[in-house]
Amino acid sequence: MKLSKRIQTVEGSKTARFIPLLDALKRQGRSVISMAIGEPADDTPAPVIDATKRALDRQQTRYSDMAGLIDLRNALAGRFAGCGQDNIVVFNGSKQALYTIFQCICDPGDQVIIPVPCWVSFAEQVKLAGGEPVFVATADHQLDVDAMAAAVSDKTKAILINSPNNPTGAVYPRQDLERIARLAIQHDLMVIADEAYDFFVYDNLPRSSFYDLETVRDRLIITRSFSKHYAMTGFRVGYAVAPSAVATAMIRLQSHLTGNVCTFAQHGAMAALEMNDGLLIQRRADLQRKRDLAFDQVSGLFPCIRPQGAFYLFPDISGHLHQGETSGDFATRILEKSGVAVVPGEDFGMDGHVRICFAAPDDQLLAAFKRIREVL
């Protein structure tokens, strides 16, 4: 059987592969500590669980509007000045939102500028849409806007910005977002802003969303998620905020793809929005404390830039590589010898590093670093 050329050029998700891999190791009786997959260890909030159960009891088990429940879209639109429900589309996680965006904006050969290191799915999603990812290096994990400007060509369609960043935890300052906005306007490009971790910014740094920049809104698509903030990764609810013409195109694709997002999961998401910000503020404080704990541990082992947001460390492990070893080999060595799972930096386009998720219980964090230290 011959598979399409399209799927042959695409690799499976390098982060998601850890889910079955670690399950298999645990079933073999191995003692595994996962710091690989990016998900919070917290419980899903009780109001979300209750609302989902109530939705099931009320038989909210049928198709819903393909763009998302009207009440959910209205509630989301209310959080973005000048937005209406026509600007909001609910997806099965922001991962599907991003996939859909590239399908809707890329023609074959169109280029999308992506700062690296970057989340594993961006490039593959651009390729699935027939586009070409154009990687631009960052400097100490911050944007190199001059290099991004130099990468613009007559094929450039969009610039993709992910802040707080996965895998580095970098948060880009507003003046850099403004420079990117000016670049996009000057060259008539779209801006895609993946803001899946938008609330998780530490040390009282300002939370800068691209949406704050009014001049760019007519060419801006934002994706956000319930997964990380509300520990709802399995619910698969995320959304995009987009100009209405783009939103309409995305809904057209959705109508042939998944139809709506699970109806009762959307009721759970609505309950999350109805909660006041107290829970998020508390989770952010707890993650900042974990960031400090994990940063303290990692700094004793490897050079590492202190993350300002999200929940990842991205240390430079190059000083501990055996001859010829890549970050992938290193991660395999650590997993085999210590049972601690981390994601190789090469999967994010930056070898010599690994990504460590610190959204784990404290005792696991400490145990994981102890095991890594022993292997080293």
Choose one: 61-69, 77-85, 118-126, 204-212; the region binding ligand GLU (CB under 6 A): 118-126
The site map against ligand GLU for 68-107 (x = CB under 6 A) is ---------------------------x------------
CA gap 217, 223 in Å, rounded: 13
Closest residue to ligand GLU, Cβ-based? 38
Choose one: 13-21, 127-135, 273-281, 328-336; the region binding ligand GLU (CB under 6 A): 13-21
The single-letter DSSP state of residue 189 is -
Residue 164 beta carbon to ligand GLU: minimum distance, rounded to whole angstroms? 12
Write out the H or E segment, with its range, that includes residue 94: helix 93-105
Out of 38, 40, 268, 309, the only residue in the binding site for ligand GLU (CB under 6 A) is 38
Instruction: Decide if residue 166 touches ligand GLU (CB under 6 A).
Output: yes
Residue 313 beta carbon to ligand GLU: minimum distance, rounded to whole angstroms? 13
340 in Cβ contact with 334 (< 8 Å): yes
CA–centroid distance for 150 within its chain: 26
| Buried/exposed 197-209: b ≥16 CB within 10 Å, e otherwise | bbbbbbeeeeebb
> Residue 222, Cβ neighbours under 10 Å: how many?
23
Choose one: 114-122, 129-137, 210-218, 278-286; the region binding ligand GLU (CB under 6 A): 114-122
267 in Cβ contact with 39 (< 8 Å): no
Residue closer to ligand GLU (CB basis): 125 or 338: 125
Out of 13, 248, 318, 332, the only residue in the binding site for ligand GLU (CB under 6 A) is 13
- Count the helices and strands in the chain (H runs, E runs): 13, 12
Give the residues lining the site for ligand GLU (CB under 6 A).
13, 15-16, 37-38, 95, 119-121, 166
